């Protein structure tokens, strides 16, 4: 507790090695709050600075924190091909409004091994014609992989964009059986 009898926000993080590179996982008491792709030292430092500023507390590295244990277990199982549905408490505090609405629909309504078009996802949240806004929501996703923005593709059959790079998107879709494994 702080000097005013309030519980301070707790923010813990670790970096997990995966098939798509290092992932920074950060959690609060509410749940997993951030997943950062390609978490090299420079990327990690910048992400931790942003988290501290947004959440008003200093992140603490703690791979053994109970707040992270289940996220580590589930993300590891996902990349091992042993888990298809994440069942983690999520802290949505880094995203609001339309973007949160779209990401919640994505998390609950687009299962493993399937894809959805940007426009289709816009329609699911009652905003037909907002495909570009859905693209913006995907780009602002604070929880990639767990909230599967890699499953959103162009309606014409193109793979679409991905903040973690198209190669990473292809690997995730291949892991889920949507795309064939690359030959090399």
Query: Which of 149, 152, 172, 175 is the catalytic position?
Result: 149
3-state secondary structure of 7: coil
Residue 119 CA to residue 152 CA, distance in Å, equals: 10
Please spell the DSSP secondary structure of 109-130, one letter per residue: HS-TT--EEHHHHHHHTT-TT-
Residue with tokens 């505090």: 93
51, containing H or E segment: helix 41-55
Residue 172, exposed/middle/buried by CB under 10 A (0-12, 13-18, 19+)?
Answer: buried
- Residue 149 appears among annotated catalytic residues: yes
Beta strands per DSSP E along the chain: 12-18, 21-27, 32-36, 60-61, 116-117, 152-153
How do the residues of the chain divide into helix, strand and coil, expressed in percent and rounded to 5? 40, 15, 45
Active site residues: 149
């Amino acid at each position: 507790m702080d000097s005013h009898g309030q519980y301070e926000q707790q923010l813990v993080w670790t970096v997990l090695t995966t098939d798509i590179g290092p992932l920074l996982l950060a959690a609060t008491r509410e749940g997993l709050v951030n997943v950062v792709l390609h978490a090299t030292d420079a990327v990690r430092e910048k992400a931790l600075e942003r988290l501290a500023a947004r959440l008003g507390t200093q992140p603490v590295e703690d791979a053994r924190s109970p707040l992270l244990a289940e996220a580590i277990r589930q993300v590891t199982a996902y990349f091992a091909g042993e888990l298809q549905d994440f069942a983690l408490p999520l802290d949505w505090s880094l995203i609001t409004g339309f973007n949160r609405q779209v990401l919640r629909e994505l998390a609950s309504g687009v299962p493993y091994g399937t894809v959805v078009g940007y426009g289709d996802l816009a329609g699911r949240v009652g905003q037909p014609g907002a495909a570009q806004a859905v693209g913006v929501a995907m780009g602002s996703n604070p929880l990639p992989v767990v909230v599967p923005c890699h499953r959103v593709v162009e309606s014409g059959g193109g793979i679409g964009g991905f903040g973690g790079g198209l190669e990473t998107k292809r690997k995730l879709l291949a892991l889920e059986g949507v795309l064939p494994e690359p030959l090399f």
